[in-house]
Structure formats: C-alpha cells, structure tokens
C-alpha cells in the first residue's frame, strides 16, 4: 500500500493572481500566495498533495485541465471570467473523470453584472462552492475528499 498523497489541482483563472489588491471589498485581502499556502495545508490534512496554479492565459488553463483529464486528477477550479463565456474551458471540463468542484470567492448570482449569472463550468461540476470567500477553497477540497471516499 502506497503512502503517497493523492494529487489534487487547484486552478485559478485570470486576475486571481491579483488577490489582495484587486477589489478587496469583493475578494478580500488574502493574496494568491497566501491562498496557495492555505490550500496546500488544507489539502495535506485531507491526504492530498495540492498543486495550486494561476494563469491569465486560457490555453494554459485548457492544457492543465486536459492533463488532469488524462491522469484522473481531481480539480478545484475558479475559472474566474472564463466561467461565463469560455467554451474552451467548457470542453476541457467535459473531459474530466475525477471530481471537479467549481469555486467562486464571491457569489456570482448575487453580483449585479448579469453576465456573471451564467457558468459554463457548472454542467460538469460535482459541486459548486460560491460566496464563501477564501474558505470556499477549503470546502472544495473537502468535497473532493468526500467524493473520493465515496468512490
């Protein structure tokens, strides 16, 4: 029996590298580096080796999702703006076989911009965690742990 931790990806889309600086009244004061460290710690407590990545380049995100699909790696995904319009992200998520949890720091359905009320990720997600701030990432990892435990 292997003692290796199960790999999990936490993938963050455009502008999330600016956490702590960009609209802190909506997204809080935690930086992306601080979020990454929290996710690694939370994941370790659940038996996961968490790899946290952020990109402003859609092709990178698609490549990461495709690799996760090929390797059966669970994903916690905050696709940010791509959530609302990227059919490339939709198609990449459709290929995932391991749990996919959609994460949003704010609650898109409560935001005034109507475009934020549509998600191309949700149809493929095991669960959606929204409006819980940075703690939503912890909950997303817990959902993945529960789903893997049920498998």
Selected catalytic residue, list 27, 90, 124, 137: 27
Q: Let me know if 27 is a catalytic residue.
A: yes
Rounded distance between C-alpha atoms, residue 110 and residue 67, angstroms: 33
Selected catalytic residue, list 90, 104, 124, 137: 104
- Is 116 labelled as part of a ligand binding site? yes
- Is 135 labelled as part of a ligand binding site? no
- Is 124 labelled as part of a ligand binding site? no
CA-wise closest residue to 11 among 46, 69, 55: 55
- Is 91 labelled as part of a ligand binding site? yes
Residue 65 phi/psi, 5° resolution?
-65, -40
> Locate tokens 């370790």: which residue?
44
Query: Residues annotated as binding site for substrate?
Result: 78, 84, 91, 105-106, 116
Query: Residues annotated as binding site?
Result: 78, 84, 91, 105-106, 116
Catalytic residues: 27, 104
């Amino acid at each position: 029996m292997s003692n290796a931790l199960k790999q999990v990806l936490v993938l963050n889309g455009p502008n999330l590298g600016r956490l702590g600086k960009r609209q802190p009244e909506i997204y809080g004061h935690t930086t992306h580096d601080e979020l990454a460290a929290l996710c690694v710690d939370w994941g370790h407590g659940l038996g996961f080796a968490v790899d946290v990545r952020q990109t402003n380049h859609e092709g990178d995100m698609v490549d990461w999702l495709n690799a996760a699909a090929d390797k059966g790696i669970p994903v916690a995904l905050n696709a940010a703006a791509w959530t609302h319009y990227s059919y490339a992200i939709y198609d990449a998520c459709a290929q995932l076989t391991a749990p996919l949890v959609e994460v949003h720091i704010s609650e898109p359905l409560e935001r005034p911009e109507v475009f934020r009320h549509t998600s191309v990720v949700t149809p493929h997600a095991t669960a959606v965690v929204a409006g819980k701030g940075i703690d939503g990432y912890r909950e997303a990892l817990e959902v993945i742990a529960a789903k893997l435990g049920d498998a």
